[in-house]
């Protein structure tokens, strides 16, 4: 991507073919190949940055700045583009989609929606990394962040019950509509996975897997607490099974699937106990299950089985992990780390906060992981 970009902005391109000696048809093909390569790299960079929680290096605004055109259609790729297409940007093209007479999208329009979708997903993962609704200056509404993590069987759709609560009441019916949108989306994902499987068209890729994992969790949630969608998800258990069937196949291809299945397993254990005997978790909320809640958003391989059980059993005993001491809302690593200390001491201190959603836990592996990596290298 950097090499292609340098060809576009350098006053003396390194590629002799770009000096103007080739014919017009070659110019069109070269431009089209570069265009498709740039957008393919854009999508891959979104997947990588979201998986490791790194900020994206090339936002859409930057693609516009360096004059990357919208993706070319098959016809444009074969025969070149007209002047109007050459001036059209990605954002301009997306803005016209709702005004099209037909609801059917051609392959180029569908790709434009896909590119925009991956860009939105990056913003979602950034939102989650920054503590979701607890972060200042929110730009984004992620519905499940606002729903009670551990409702009762009688609880109906409502806003957050743990800190920080909203300062104003929502308009009448707003939370009902929010629940309908959220759980309908989960049902749609489950149906698409099932129908794709029946057609022999499963896509065992990490992004689709993450969608299946998210839908599985939300269908699990509403199957145990049906009133959280006002009884509008009668097929939640069936949809959950569709998602689990997909994830069973996914984890045979990707180790990432093991972590997701482990999270679903422990969330299922918690919700089974809570829905059958609410007294076991009387007064408990999301803050008592912070590690399990964090794993619901994760797009990487992490095994926290022991910590999940500690949270669940600790909450039942009434001595769960203390939010004020072990999982504070602010990131203690950023406030207390002594950057002048020896590296080994620094890594030990960082690994202490490995369960946090703060920056350190994602940029630095735990000391144990580093030792294992070094040991493996020495052995090999």
Do 246 and 369 have their domain in common?
A: no
Is 287 part of any domain?
Answer: yes
Residues 281 and 371 in one domain: no
CA angle 262, 264, 270 (to 5 degrees): 105
98 and 180 share a domain?
no
Helix (H, G, I), strand (E, B) or coil at 138: coil
Judge if 272 and 288 occupy the same domain. yes
In this predicted model, what pLDDT tens digit does every residue of 153-212 receive, in sequence order? 889 998 888 888 888 899 999 999 999 999 999 999 999 999 999 999 999 988 899 999
Residue 138 falls within a domain, yes or no? no
Asked whether residue 219 falls in the same domain as residue 74, the answer is no
Residue 224 shares a structural domain with residue 295: yes
- Note the pLDDT tens digit of each residue in 102-145: 567 777 777 888 888 888 888 888 888 778 888 777 678 889 88
Q: Kindly state whether residue 201 falls inside one of the protein's structural domains.
A: yes
- Model pLDDT for residues 233-292, shown as the tens digit of each residue: 999 999 999 999 999 999 999 998 999 999 999 999 999 999 998 888 888 888 899 899
Q: Are residues 324 and 179 in the same domain?
A: yes
Together in a domain, 116 and 202: no
On whether both 264 and 363 belong to a single domain, the answer is no
Q: Residue 139 domain-assigned?
A: no
**What is the predicted pLDDT for the residue at 23?**
54
Q: How many helices (H) and strands (E) does the chain have?
A: 17, 0
Residues 171 and 268 reside in one and the same domain = yes
For the chain, the distance separating the N- and C-terminal CA atoms, rounded to the nearest angstrom, is: 33
Q: Is residue 313 part of a domain?
A: yes
**Domain carrying residue 64:** 2-102+110-129
* 179 and 94 assigned to the same domain: no
Q: What percent of the chain is modeled with pLDDT above 90?
A: 29
**CA nearest 270: which of 227, 316, 212?**
316
Residue 13, domain member (yes or no): yes
Residue 23 lies in a domain: yes
In whole angstroms, give the CA distance from residue 147 to residue 159. Answer: 6
Domain-embedded: residue 92: yes
Give the Cβ contact number of residue 40 at 10 Å: 13
124 with 159, same domain: the answer is no
Provide the domain count of the chain. 3
Phi, psi of 375 (to 5 degrees): -65, -45
The pTM (predicted TM-score) of the whole model is 0.71
Looking at residue 50, its pLDDT comes to 66
């Amino acid at each position: 991507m950097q090499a292609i970009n340098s060809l576009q902005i350098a006053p003396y391109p390194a590629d002799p073919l770009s000096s103007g000696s080739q014919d017009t048809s070659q110019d069109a093909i070269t431009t089209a190949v570069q265009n498709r390569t740039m957008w393919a790299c854009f999508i891959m960079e979104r997947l990588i940055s979201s998986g490791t929680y790194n900020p994206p290096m090339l936002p859409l605004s930057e693609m516009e700045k360096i004059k990357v055109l919208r993706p070319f259609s098959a016809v444009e790729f074969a025969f070149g583009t007209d002047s109007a297409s050459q001036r059209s940007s990605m954002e301009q093209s997306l803005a016209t989609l709702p005004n099209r007479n037909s609801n059917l999208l051609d392959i180029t329009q569908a790709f434009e929606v896909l590119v925009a979708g991956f860009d939105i997903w990056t913003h979602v993962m950034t939102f989650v990394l920054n503590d979701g609704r607890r972060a200042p200056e929110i730009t984004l509404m992620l519905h499940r962040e606002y729903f009670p993590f551990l409702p009762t069987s009688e609880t109906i759709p409502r806003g957050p019950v743990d800190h920080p609560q909203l300062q104003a009441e929502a308009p009448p019916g707003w939370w009902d509509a929010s629940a309908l949108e959220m759980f309908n989306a989960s049902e749609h994902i489950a149906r698409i996975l099932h129908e794709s499987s029946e057609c022999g068209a499963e896509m065992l890729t990490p992004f689709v897997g993450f969608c299946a994992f998210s839908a599985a969790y939300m269908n699990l949630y509403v199957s145990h607490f049906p009133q959280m969608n006002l009884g509008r998800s009668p097929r939640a258990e069936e949809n959950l099974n569709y998602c689990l069937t997909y994830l069973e196949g996914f984890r045979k291809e990707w180790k990432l699937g093991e972590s997701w299945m482990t999270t679903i397993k422990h969330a299922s254990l918690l919700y089974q106990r809570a829905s059958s005997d609410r007294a076991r978790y009387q007064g408990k909320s999301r803050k008592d299950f912070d590690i399990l809640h964090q794993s619901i958003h994760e797009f990487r391989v992490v095994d926290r089985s022991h910590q999940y059980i500690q949270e669940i059993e600790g909450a039942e005993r009434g001595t769960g992990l203390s939010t004020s001491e072990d999982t504070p809302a602010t990131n203690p690593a950023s406030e207390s780390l002594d950057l002048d200390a020896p590296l080994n001491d620094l890594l030990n201190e960082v690994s202490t906060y490995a369960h946090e959603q703060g920056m350190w836990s994602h940029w630095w592996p735990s000391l144990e992981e580093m030792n294992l990596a070094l040991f493996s290298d020495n052995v090999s």
